[in-house]
Amino acid sequence: MKRYLALICLVISGYSTAQDDDVLKTYVSHSINELREFVAIPNDATEHADINRNLTWLTNKFNARGFNSSILPTQGESLFFAALPMEDNKPTILFYMHLDGQPVDPTKWDQPNPYSVVLKSKDGNQWKKQPFDSLANNLNYDWRLFGRSTSDDKGPIVMLLNAIDLLKRNNVTFPFNVKVILDSEEEKGSRPLPKAVKEYRDLLKADFLVINDGPVHVSGKPTVVYGCRGITTLTLTTYGPMKPQHSGHYGNYAPNPGFQLAQLLASMKDAEGKVLVNGYYDGISLDAPTTEILKNVPEDAATINGYLAIKTPEKVGGFYQESLQYPSLNIRGLGSGWIGEKVRTIIPESATAEIDMRLVPESNGNRLKDLVKTHIQNQGFFIMDSIPTKEERMAHEKIITITEGSVTNAFRTDLNNAYGNFLVNVLKDSFGDDVVQIRIMGGTVPIAPFINELQIPAFIVPMVNPDNDQHSPNENLRIGQLAYGIKAFYGILSTKMN
Amino acid sequence: MKRYLALICLVISGYSTAQDDDVLKTYVSHSINELREFVAIPNDATEHADINRNLTWLTNKFNARGFNSSILPTQGESLFFAALPMEDNKPTILFYMHLDGQPVDPTKWDQPNPYSVVLKSKDGNQWKKQPFDSLANNLNYDWRLFGRSTSDDKGPIVMLLNAIDLLKRNNVTFPFNVKVILDSEEEKGSRPLPKAVKEYRDLLKADFLVINDGPVHVSGKPTVVYGCRGITTLTLTTYGPMKPQHSGHYGNYAPNPGFQLAQLLASMKDAEGKVLVNGYYDGISLDAPTTEILKNVPEDAATINGYLAIKTPEKVGGFYQESLQYPSLNIRGLGSGWIGEKVRTIIPESATAEIDMRLVPESNGNRLKDLVKTHIQNQGFFIMDSIPTKEERMAHEKIITITEGSVTNAFRTDLNNAYGNFLVNVLKDSFGDDVVQIRIMGGTVPIAPFINELQIPAFIVPMVNPDNDQHSPNENLRIGQLAYGIKAFYGILSTKMN
């Protein structure tokens, strides 16, 4: 999962008694050992043999906890599936995590092998290597484990395994049937997933889905995320003379494709960033309780604006979380002729804008693309899906070529869902702290089609620190997050729903 | 000089008697030999020794015709100057041509050595090499001489030398004092010229300037050009978040620099291509006789639009020649983020437009730049001349960095100038054909500062065929144009002004 915010991490507060704390620390210690072992198996999904070694490790570990596990073949790498013995009278929880990791470039890391976990303490602004045996006397929750996938996403898998151990030690009766599905190609876009979920629909059947991926909110507080935006793209190209022409000979005569494109783009958004395409925001309405939940996310404009270095944000929403409730229309790229050192005094042949549209559940991607196309047509453009010929150029005043990208739709679970309320309450009770509820995150996760296919309520319950540098060199996991994760899974699997 | 139009060449018609024709052919034959000799000396101005060899050749050739010649040192390559003995009671004509040529890449030419002239006849669509001795019996005016600078601009120099010979043979008394200045760095932008003309102002003193460079009008008719547009440039950069941001996380929140730029550019021009910047066209008015002269240029919209492959041109002028009477505002380049295969789903950090403005005499470049800057300020932008710091980004709503290019102003001689009328009448009488009068050509020539410094009326009287492929491989000169040039120079130097 992509980070949705990553600024600073605050310390997680606990409420346990001193005795509970000691027991927990035993399991945290064990999870450190298990995570070192797991991370040691490289997990770039382009290496089939490595993925298989991870699957074998997982089979052993889950089976040892009483799970029945299966390797599910797909069109790509196989998925890992495990379930505890089912009981008919219990609701079923399905956990989704992923075993693959981002590729590594060891030369960019501050350690020789990104797959060999290094323990570090912070000394001022410097991370300092520590021997693992120093943890025996001092299990410092602020120290960190550096290595690929410590946070994204092997850490949470190990947290679940150790929470199961602690639950078993305490003879807790699970209020749910427990299923686990682990993706092998999440970092490559989970391409086999939509088809696999159709094939294994019966096996995956559950009452709700809990995704343990990505970091908790930047405030460091317990977090539940109810959805994420989708995405689709458009490439727009306008045309000038058929070949680039000398700007002296034809300036004021040959139409300039950059001005045509600028005029079109300017017609799509007002000065405050609101999309002017008819119907673009149709179907979206935020009632007072929803707005209240958005406002309750502990973040402030000054911090976000300072991070972006902007004076004033766009005005689609009144504040950051509100802005994510709407589909966006973003120019991710512009190109025409040459800029900078290569600049030439020409009237360019064409001008191109690369557009991406982040989707919300109210705005189906194909519907939005149609609205934009209608808008473009209303601006007087003749729309084509190929490069115009000379004859076509001479037959139409203004021509645009539109290339459409595929659609990944959004998903969003209702804020009032009973399982969502259950998760929020469990986290609140486990940590004695407010739970940050994110109605929808801005980015897009590749499991959205999977969720939409299963048609069950889905929630992201992240377990790792927001400054974990996932996807980057020196990815790390705060040891305290292992305690956090074990407690969170423990709470979920030990609390009976009302 | 840059080509201002280059489509097709029509045959030049002559009116001479059969006897005159035979005499002329003798001089055309001689000029072919002299041009082969001259072209054989490479003339890329980056090769100082080659330029010197050209200067020596010219000194010999002009001195042989009774000129007094001088090599004028400059900050770059030396200029060549020659004058016939002066008589106080005659007006002085100054001819400007250039001895340097475009660099050559022999691998792109259809002959081994671009400096060794090859004679060719056209066989269908194919050029076919011919032996030079075949010219003795058949001096075919449609055959061509292929080689660097045959047209641009050694051909016209040789035409002048041979016209002088013919004038002397016929014992013509020159009605003018004759001065010749030959540039050595025209193809490199004539950088030393503005300073040199200040230094040699007294030597260059004349009543009018005739520039023999570039091709005649595409119609092939005798042509007089009264001016050319100037140029200046602006680079405009708008800003989004300080670093590129994930378009999911911040789409709808972080301002997009591409939309800011599009809105600004869209405000600068209307849908028909007319500049909306206040005062941009101030001072330009075309009276009926001027419009008549513009309309008399024998060209039609269908041909030009077909060449450009456009349905409708911009509407700054009602037709091509009229459009050149106004300053242009052209987007020569656009860039932001990435397009095509490299596209990334980001909100880019900045967006840049490269603008060029072709100038006319009414629109001083610095004044136009100030008008554009005022327009940008009125759109709510804070204007800077450097990249904004974080603090500056956070202090201003919309920031733009403007980088200004230098100004080369336009020049244009009055259509009613007595020397202009004289040249038109001479060409009309010499060829018995209408003379195409171009009030201003669209492109910019580097000698404009030189002309503006001398403050004398200046006229471009081109001598070569419009399809000469100057600046390209296989540059060529139609043999008939040697006859054309000798006759044109003969007419100018044998006709007394009324």
B339:A352 CB<8 A: yes
Non-local (6+) Cβ contacts of A496 within 8 A are A175
Model pLDDT, residue B88:
92
Domains of chain B: 18-228+411-492 (3.40.630.10), 230-284+326-404 (3.30.70.360)
- Whether A352 has its CB under 8 Å from any CB of chain B: the answer is yes
Model pLDDT, residue B480:
97
DSSP single-letter state for residue A317: S
Model pLDDT, residue A450:
80
Residue A188 carries which side chain, given as an amino acid letter?
Answer: K
Model pLDDT, residue B18:
67
Give B30 to chain A, closest Cα distance, Å.
Answer: 36
Please provide the DSSP assignment of A170-232 as one string.
TTPPPSSEEEEEEES-GGGT-TTHHHHHHHTHHHH--SEEEE--SBPPTT---EEE-EE-EEE
Model pLDDT, residue B160:
98
Q: Is 90 exceeded by the pLDDT of residue B359? A: yes
Backbone region of residue A79 per phi and psi (left: phi > 0; alpha: psi in -120 to 50; beta: other values): beta
As given in the structure block, the two tokens for residue A254 are: 């040959």
d(CA B295, CA A66): 93
Contact B261, A262 (CB under 8 A): yes
> pLDDT tens digits for A209-261?
999 999 999 999 999 999 999 999 999 999 999 999 989 999 999 999 999 99
Cα three-residue angle B37-B43-B49, rounded to 5 degrees: 100
Neighboring chain A residues of B251 at a CB cutoff of 8 Å: 328, 330, 356, 358, 442
Best of A330, A357, A445 to disrupt the B interface (most B CBs within 10 Å) is: A330
A330:B255 CB<8 A: no
A314:B354 CB<8 A: no
**Which has the closest alpha carbon to B409: B375, B455, B447, B439?**
B447
d(CA B324, CA B442): 5
Give B102 to chain A, closest Cα distance, Å.
Answer: 18
**Which has the closest alpha carbon to B139: B463, B479, B487?**
B479
Q: Is 50 exceeded by the pLDDT of residue B482? A: yes
Mean pLDDT of A330-358: 95
Mean pLDDT of B98-106: 94
Interface of A with B in 309-338 (CB under 8 A): 309-314, 316-317, 320, 323-324, 326, 328, 330-338
Strands (E), B100-229: 118-123, 126-130, 144-146, 177-183, 208-211, 223-225, 227-228
Mean pLDDT of A30-53: 97
**Which has the closest alpha carbon to B236: B25, B402, B473?**
B402
Q: Is 80 exceeded by the pLDDT of residue A287? A: yes
Model pLDDT, residue B447:
78
Q: ipTM, 2 decimals? A: 0.87
Model pLDDT, residue A76:
96
Mean pLDDT of A162-173: 96
As given in the structure block, the two tokens for residue A474 are: 């020196």
> pLDDT tens digits for B161-208?
999 999 999 999 999 999 999 999 998 888 899 899 999 999 999 999
> pLDDT tens digits for A434-484?
999 999 999 888 778 788 888 999 999 999 999 998 888 999 999 999 999
Best of A1, A275, A284, A334 to disrupt the B interface (most B CBs within 10 Å) is: A334
Three-state SS at A11: coil
Mean pLDDT of B80-84: 98
Q: How far is CA A430 from CA A15, A435, A459, A464, A470, in A?
A: 8, 11, 18, 16, 26
DSSP single-letter state for residue B269: B
Model pLDDT, residue A18:
67
